[in-house]
Structure 1
């Protein structure tokens, strides 16, 4: 049994204790809060020392951006393994200080879950199988900043090297019918800012970032992901590729979803396939979890495996680098000029 604790009681923290409680082999031994909260399904402590008496194998830090670096440093100084919510520090100075303080420890992972979402995991399996040849370009229009950079770098198979960023911003009116709390009745048309950025990686590889305010929740905005390789292209659920001379084929990625019509197995994701090849199989069938829940549950299990000597789920160096590149989006848009992200100590 792998034990973990959580510092923080916000909406992100709730995912960890709720999903952890449903996973075999994981036990959330407590949550640290500055004040007593509503009744929770796990013990609540008002001091970190009190919670750490439960001897967790790792600690999830789900606190405001500005608090994260100090808390992570304290936990590492105590010899604890940490899964830090994104981003691990709010600004460039903070990222550099955090790396200087704990980078060499090897005790910190970052809670980047997007590549573990079923659709992205299936796409990534397809790209890594080589059907597109060598990936050369990735376009992401679905999520913001460091999450998008993580997707771009992972699909391209690119490390933490230098990159040149260009960016622009535009603002236009847009109806905003949904936010995190639900329907925004009555619907209002509000100014929405779109940031478009390009990423040119040293040594090859190109990324396009396109994000509009509240794109996570606003269902009027379609999510888009494109991966171009040397022999084909994947766009969302459709793949076109060259398989032989004068032979171009198109194949769909198909999600098998139970619970429709007379399927009485319950609403759930079964698998995602590409022709007769299963790219992704839901490891949590029966839980009825959405894709975000599946991704976070997978991240928790990957972190537990890391504690037991397995591979790192998402090292601190990656989390710092992705946010460092994302910060260049704002800088490039404000300066209306190219911004070069140089090699940093974590690279």
Structure 2
């Protein structure tokens, strides 16, 4: 049993609420710390978890770790506060989008300056069943050495984490160039409702080229509406020296250098959206690690992060190395700067975790 507390009660915190409800034998939320009595009552009424507005109640619940799911502006202060209280922290992404704070967190962890120095970041995309399966195919060498990719699936630091997995960029220096555009699109959905008025609005769309020092290149294309829009697709292409992956299709050379292609098969529960299995060339690349429970890809991936955090707290390896998490946030800052300075290159500089 993994016992954890949640700091926050908003949209992102609800992801962890759903996991605990779907998998009560594996995950227990021992306390939710809310910023107001109103939000505490809302969480209690909807999910029936123990709730409080007092730090001492969270401390006395004795969680294995806490998940910090507060706003980005409060994240770094909250993370440091709870590390200094002495409780391991799994921080929602990112820990901070201020480079100075990122440097500060690294130096404090490196020098054991916190009461507890067990910090991880909840970057879940590499644990999505379909992305995980594609990563396995790339790392098998079937398409040779990966050399470039086009990514239009997720934004900023999330995209950087996936680029690392596919292109093995590690903490190589990167040069970012590109531009942000305002594009018109019909509004179809928010986080909470479907929109049918047909209103045409402007959304930001970033087009960036990311050139890494290991001679790998990523082409980033993402619209701010893309996560929720019913009329904007999400896609990925990874090119290697002996083939490429485009979404669920894999193109490759056989041992005799004759070209072939096969589909990565994804089996999904149409009612719940849960991925039941992913297979390729007769081999299962993914089966539900917690059993069939009705969770979608985002919740499944976050549950795997929670399980990894527990292993880390108990003395195991990092689930998502902190230096990568800080590097991804740092690179996201470069992306923002590059997008706002049309086609002016932004090169990574010295950072303490490199």
TM-score interval (norm. to shorter):
over 0.9
Shift of the 136–78 alpha-carbon distance from structure 1 to 2, 3 Å rule, reads same
Aligned match of 1:43: 50
Among candidates 87, 92, 103, match of residue 80 of structure 1: 87
Counting only pairs closer than 5 Å after superposition, residues 1-347 of structure 1 correspond to structure 2 as 1-21=1-21, 22-36=23-37, 37=40, 38=42, 39=44, 40-105=47-112, 106-258=117-269, 268-336=274-342, 337-347=344-354
SS at structure 2 position matched to 1:29: strand
SS at structure 2 position matched to 1:289: coil
Kindly provide the CA deviation profile for residues 252-289 of structure 1, in whole angstroms up to 9, marking residues without a partner as x. Answer: 001123569xxxxx874321111211111122443111
Counterpart contact for 1:73–1:101, Cα < 8 Å: no
Pairwise CA distance, 1:91 = 2.0
Counterpart contact for 2:183–2:203, Cα < 8 Å: yes
Q: Take 2:294 and 2:331, find their aligned partners in 1: how far apart are those partners?
A: 35
Q: Take 1:212 and 1:75, find their aligned partners in 2: how far apart are those partners?
A: 35
SS at structure 2 position matched to 1:159: coil
Q: Take 2:177 and 2:33, find their aligned partners in 1: how far apart are those partners?
A: 41
Pairwise CA distance, 1:24 = 2.9
Q: Take 1:44 and 1:257, find their aligned partners in 2: how far apart are those partners?
A: 35
Q: Which moved more, 1:314-323 or 1:277-286?
A: 277-286
**What is the RMSD of the two structures over their aligned residues, measured on CA atoms?**
1.8
Shift of the 85–104 alpha-carbon distance from structure 1 to 2, 3 Å rule, reads farther
Counterpart contact for 2:97–2:330, Cα < 8 Å: no
Shift of the 208–259 alpha-carbon distance from structure 1 to 2, 3 Å rule, reads closer
Q: After TM superposition, what 4+ stretches of structure 1 lie above 4 angstroms from structure 2?
A: 103-106
Q: Take 2:128 and 2:104, find their aligned partners in 1: how far apart are those partners?
A: 31
Counterpart contact for 1:65–1:89, Cα < 8 Å: yes
Aligned residues: 342
Kindly provide the CA deviation profile for residues 314-336 of structure 1, in whole angstroms up to 9, marking residues without a partner as x. Answer: 13221111011111112112223
Kindly provide the CA deviation profile for residues 185-217 of structure 1, in whole angstroms up to 9, marking residues without a partner as x. Answer: 312111122101111111221111111121100
Answer 1 or 2: which has greater strand percent.
1
Q: Take 1:172 and 1:204, find their aligned partners in 2: how far apart are those partners?
A: 31
Pairwise CA distance, 1:31 = 0.7
Consecutive unaligned residues in structure 2, runs of 5 or more = none
Aligned match of 1:263: none
Q: Take 2:110 and 2:220, find their aligned partners in 1: how far apart are those partners?
A: 28
Counterpart contact for 1:167–1:330, Cα < 8 Å: no
TM-score of the superposition, structure 2-length normalised? 0.91
TM-score of the superposition, structure 1-length normalised? 0.93
